[in-house]
Structure 1
Amino acid sequence: KKGNTMKTEVRINDKGRIVQVSKSYPGSVYDFKVFKHQILPPQDSKVLVNSGYHGIYRDHKKSVYPYKNTKCQKITSVVKDHNTLLAKTRIKVENIIRNIKTFNILAHKYRNQRKR
């Protein structure tokens, strides 16, 4: 009934190949924190991420992430177009992650307590 989740970051190149798989973290850890504990990608490479990686631009200048609404300011049509284009590009990555989950490639049963 109650599930304990583990989070793993998977990096995929533009050809759809898995480049790097991080170690597993508890599900409560933020995506960006997992990113910061890994080897950073080369600065000349472009990194496409989802909204869980907000703040990545401080560590990687060529990162592309979706923009969010704020309480005071709604996103414009130009920003919506940017988010749509990013989503169309990232769907390939999401499909690869779906295949990893479907075929239980990274799945494992963990029977011991985690080290805290």
Structure 2
Amino acid sequence: MEEHVDLRRQVKLLERANTEHVQRAIEHEQAATRAHALRAQLDIYKKQVTDLNEKLDAEITKADKLEIENKKLSSSAASLQRERDTLLHERETLRETVDELRYSTITTGASED
């Protein structure tokens, strides 16, 4: 009888150990499922980061080209402004010369009379 009680106790211990093992196996499976889902999400994020980095590189290249173009246009605008200023100054000088010639012609014509 004592042997029978001892065997029952061992069976109960083994059942508890088995239940614990099954529970840990379930927990491990759940953790593995979560890890798999997280890996899939991580792969999606990695792809998004790669795509965004490519877009960023393209935008940086575009911005650099636009900056160079802007500098060229600014230089051209400054050059054209200098040329305009020179032409305006020339025009003013020519107007003064024309006015002087008119005055000179008028005074010479008046003094001849």
TM-score under structure 2 length normalisation: 0.23
- Which structure has greater helix proportion? 2
- Which structure has greater strand proportion? 1
**Greater length-normalized contact order (CA 8 Å, ≥ 6 residues apart):** 1
Larger radius of gyration: 2
